[in-house]
Amino acid sequence: MSLKVPERVWWKPLGWQEKVWVTVSLVWCLVLFLMMPLWMAVGKQNNPTETYRVSPARFLETASALIEKYKVGEEKGIPIIRPPRGSDVYLVARMWQWNPILELKKGETYRLHVSSLDLQHGLSIQPLNMNFQVLPGYDYVLTLTPTQAGEYSVICNEYCLIGHHNMTGKIIVRE
């Protein structure tokens, strides 16, 4: 009984049913591991790793210059930019806005830099449901290829104080 001291020698061989289950479990646990490197080799969605140190001021400066250069309009005072195909794109997270609105082209690959100017934020693209952590001081580069056209919302899914539920942005993908 589990509440009592066991008999002196409890190191005993397993029965066949236990052996079957332990074997199945062990193989399954190996499959769980192998799927990750396998998907890295053949899958098309892999977690971005490219990261640079950047000060919030420097990141904002770079992003502002690109906004200036590629701005094609505005919505609710937020600039809309149309960056060249395959270029470096900057998305700034701050309390409580994603800036700018991005207009991308379907099937083109962009290097999307994200960083925060203040607290931690969560980049969440909806209804696609792709989610990434955004930290101040880290320039996180997502090499991203939109595969469907349409309008996508960007929300923040890392709590960032009282205005958290007002922090939205937008990505437009054109055919």
Residues in 91-110 that interact with another protein by CB under 8 A: 97, 101, 109
Torsion-angle region of 161 (φ positive above 0: left; ψ -120 to 50: alpha; else: beta): left
Q: What is the chain's alpha carbon radius of gyration, rounded to the nearest angstrom?
A: 24
- Indicate whether 23 belongs to the interface with another protein (CB under 8 A): no
In the region spanning residues 58 to 87, those forming contacts with another protein, defined by CB under 8 A, are 75-78
- Please tell me the count of residues contacting another protein according to CB under 8 A: 89
Among 65, 69, 74, 147, which residue interacts with another protein (rule: CB under 8 A)?
147
Structure tokens at 144: 């991203």
- List Cα–Cα distances, 92 to 10, 27, 48, 128, in angstroms: 61, 44, 18, 20
CA–CA separation, 95 vs 82, rounded Å?
A: 24
- Indicate whether 155 belongs to the interface with another protein (CB under 8 A): yes
Per-residue string for binding with another protein, 43-62, x by CB under 8 A?
Answer: xxxxxxx-x-----------
Beta strands across the sheet bearing 78-81 = 71-75, 78-81, 101-105, 168-174, 150-156, 121-126, 130-134
Nearer to another protein by Cβ, of 67 and 155: the residue is: 155
- Indicate whether 89 belongs to the interface with another protein (CB under 8 A): no
- Indicate whether 175 belongs to the interface with another protein (CB under 8 A): no
Q: Which part of the chain contacts another protein (CB under 8 A), choosing from 25-33, 63-71, 85-93? A: 25-33
Among 83, 91, 93, 124, which residue interacts with another protein (rule: CB under 8 A)?
124
Beta-strand relationship, 88-94 and 110-116: parallel
